[in-house]
Amino acid sequence: AQSVSQHNHHVILSEAASLELGCNYSYGGTVNLFWYVQYPGQHLQLLLKYFSGDPLVKGIKGFEAEFIKSKFSFNLRKPSVQWSDTAEYFCAVRPDSSYKLIFGSGTRLLVRP
Amino acid sequence: GAVVSQHPSWVICKSGTSVKIECRSLDFQATTMFWYRQFPKQSLMLMATSNEGSKATYEQGVEKDKFLINHASLTLSTLTVTSAHPEDSSFYICSARDWGREVAGYNEQFFGPGTRLTVL
């Protein structure tokens, strides 16, 4: 079965620290990859997505992610986090041409000022 | 950006009653909407795909007679939890696919703010 794993359930960082959140998926075919963010009390918002081409994808608010096909990974990074980045982050995979999104369990990030 | 609303944002009901949750796309047409369920500290699990004017497609293990979905217009889908029980308590999230925003054959999904259902 297709699945998405986010191994870090909780991450606590100080402002200006660098961030990397792991995401691995299990599916052998073509995939589209997404990172969503959910700020406290708000709805899910798309941070960035990968469909094809350059495996290093840049998103909003200084986030980027790198697709490494050989590792089935799509890790999210930000060089310097801010207090306002405190939120829950979800990795999602869209297998083949399906419109279904398969989500990881999420990572709660707390950034201390 | 595209906006999706849900109503109500939270609801408390007695066991055995039915609860209806609305999902609306406010500034775009959505022929397809999706209903997810999120348990605490867990991922969003797709329950069903709602298509305007036709029957919903349910994921394996989701009882279609318990979770009734109606998608009567291009901007509204409803999820009715029938004969709710405490184990149905959860956070229900809908998303709507915007036909007008296609990238590489993919129409982006926009998510609603969710509805927290508590069944006593």
Question: What percent of chain A lies above the pLDDT cut of 70?
Answer: 98
With an 8 Å Cβ cutoff, the interface of chain A facing chain B consists of 4, 9, 32, 36, 42-46, 51-52, 90, 94, 97, 99-106
Residue from A45, A3, A52, A48 nearest A21 by CA: A48
Q: Do B104 and A51 touch (CB under 8 A)?
A: yes
B32–chain A nearest CA distance, Å: 10
What pLDDT, in 10s, does the model give residues B54-94? 889 999 999 999 999 999 899 999 999 999 999 999 999 99
In tens digits, chain A (113 residues) has pLDDT values of 778 999 889 999 999 999 999 999 998 788 899 999 999 888 899 999 998 899 999 999 999 999 999 999 999 999 999 999 999 999 999 987 677 899 999 999 999 99
Residue B99 is predicted with a pLDDT of 73
B43 touches A25 (CB < 8 A): no
Q: Do B44 and A90 touch (CB under 8 A)?
A: yes
Residue from A47, A99, A100 nearest A74 by CA: A47
Q: Do A51 and B42 touch (CB under 8 A)?
A: no
Q: Three-state DSSP class for A69?
A: helix
Report how far residue A47's alpha carbon sits from residue B79's, in angstroms, rounded to the nearest whole number: 27
Residue with tokens 């998510």: B111
Q: How many residues does chain A have?
A: 113
Report how far residue B30's alpha carbon sits from residue B75's, in angstroms, rounded to the nearest whole number: 6
B94 touches B33 (CB < 8 A): yes
Q: Do B43 and A94 touch (CB under 8 A)?
A: no
Kindly give the pairing relationship between strand B44-51 and strand B32-38. Answer: antiparallel
pLDDT higher than 90, residue B15 = yes
Q: Do A103 and B44 touch (CB under 8 A)?
A: yes
A64–chain B nearest CA distance, Å: 19
With an 8 Å Cβ cutoff, the interface of chain B facing chain A consists of 4, 32, 34, 41-46, 49, 93, 95, 97, 103-109, 111-114
Report how far residue B38's alpha carbon sits from residue A101's, in angstroms, rounded to the nearest whole number: 14
Residue type, B12: I
Residue B72 is predicted with a pLDDT of 83
Using pLDDT thresholds of 50, 70 and 90, give the confidence band for residue B100: confident
Question: What percent of chain B lies above the pLDDT cut of 90?
Answer: 69
